[in-house]
Structure 1
Amino acid sequence: MDIIRGRVFTFGNNIDTDQIYPGRYLELTEHNEIAAHVMEGADPSFASNMKPGDIIVAGTNFGCGSSREHAVITLKTAKVGAVVAKSFARIFFRNAINQGLVLVEIPGLDMSSIKTGDTAGINVVSGEFLSGETKMGFAPLPGHVLSIIEAGGIFSLFREKGSEAFG
């Protein structure tokens, strides 16, 4: 899990939870049905074009809007490898970690040199992001966050290790 590789899909600033998972599908309860609508509000073709492990790269405030966990669930169930952004909405960030979705925040991310279709690599331990000719550093994910992600989410970690997982 140290290195994530995938094709890049770029998005702009202020991608809100309704763009990640449109509210008109809230009545769906099966995760696979939910995942079929991933990023539909921002790019209706995303679900049919992405492959497991692909990486979303976005600007500022990714995941703003509603605090619903559906947005994270759809990304995770669709098997998005990671989301790299200049910044994330606070509640979305916490929901993503709790669900075991890799998020990488790079405040100085140069979006002009990253294109949809590029291949990217992320080393979450050393804190390196590489896409095309763009190489940027970021704060490596802390060990406790990596533990949650590797377990598949906070509930999975708790089921696996019980209360000892939390010190």
Structure 2
Amino acid sequence: MTLIRGRVWKYGDDVNTDVIFPGKYTYTLTEPLEIARHALEDLDPAFAQNVRPGDVVIGGRNWGCGSSREQGATCLKYAGVGAVIARSFARIFYRNALNNGLPALTCAAAVDALQHGDEIAIDLDAHVIHSAAGDFEFPPLSPSVHGIVAAGGLIPYLKAHLATDGGAA
């Protein structure tokens, strides 16, 4: 069972990648811990200092809109975020999150019901979010996406598959 447990950090609609990771650091920070220290700093200055491994970010519509920079997803992963749940995702953020092994889940009912600070558990295998507010189903991840998330990202997933397939693509 793939289970993610943590607290909810809830934000609104149209949170763009510049707010998730300030563009001014894009070409100056390269180390994961440095990048993590600036996650959501313009939206929630307390986030990077207080997020715990497994915590879950909840956004509204169009989470991760804006530029295509990968750091919008990687800063959250490096900060220990276990998943992002939103009403909808900007296409490029969604792909960047999955490529880096960060589950990006759509579940409008959970977005509506869950509050900042709630404790939740996400069962990726059963595609359900458990909370005191109730249980919320989300669309199941495809087998390949589930594999990418379980491997920690697209590159580790492909390396493992190439190694087991004898290099066959």
Alignment of 1:15-164 (within 5 A): 15-26=15-26, 27-111=28-112, 113-162=113-162, 164=165
Q: Tell me if structure 2 keeps the 8 A contact 1:100–1:149.
A: yes
Tell me, in whole angstroms, the C-alpha distance in 2 between the residues paired with 1:92 and 1:131: 26
Letter in 1 for 2:83: A
User: Over residues 47-87 of structure 1, what are the superposed CA-to-partner deviations in whole Å (9 max), with x where a residue is unaligned?
Assistant: 11110110111111110000010111111111101001111
Per-residue deviation at 1:31? 1.5
Per-residue deviation at 1:6? 0.5
Tell me, in whole angstroms, the C-alpha distance in 1 between the residues paired with 2:108 and 2:56: 17
Residues 147/66 of structure 1: CA separation in 2 closer, same or farther (3 Å cut): same
Instruction: Tell me which residue corresponds to 2:4.
Output: 4
Per-residue deviation at 1:110? 4.6
Letter in 2 for 1:133: A
Per-residue deviation at 1:108? 4.1
Tell me, in whole angstroms, the C-alpha distance in 1 between the residues paired with 2:47 and 2:76: 11
Q: SS of the residue aligned with 1:150?
A: helix
Tell me, in whole angstroms, the C-alpha distance in 1 between the residues paired with 2:9 and 2:111: 14
Q: SS of the residue aligned with 2:157?
A: helix
Residues 127/19 of structure 1: CA separation in 2 closer, same or farther (3 Å cut): same
Q: Tell me if structure 2 keeps the 8 A contact 1:114–1:134.
A: no
The total of aligned residue pairs comes to 166
Instruction: Tell me which residue corresponds to 2:14.
Output: 14
Q: Tell me if structure 1 keeps the 8 A contact 2:59–2:111.
A: no
TM-score (norm 2): 0.91
Letter in 2 for 1:61: N
Any unmatched runs of 5+ in structure 2? none
Letter in 1 for 2:54: G
Runs of 4+ in 1 over 6 A off after TM superposition: none
Letter in 1 for 2:124: V
Residues 132/66 of structure 1: CA separation in 2 closer, same or farther (3 Å cut): same
TM-score (norm 1): 0.92
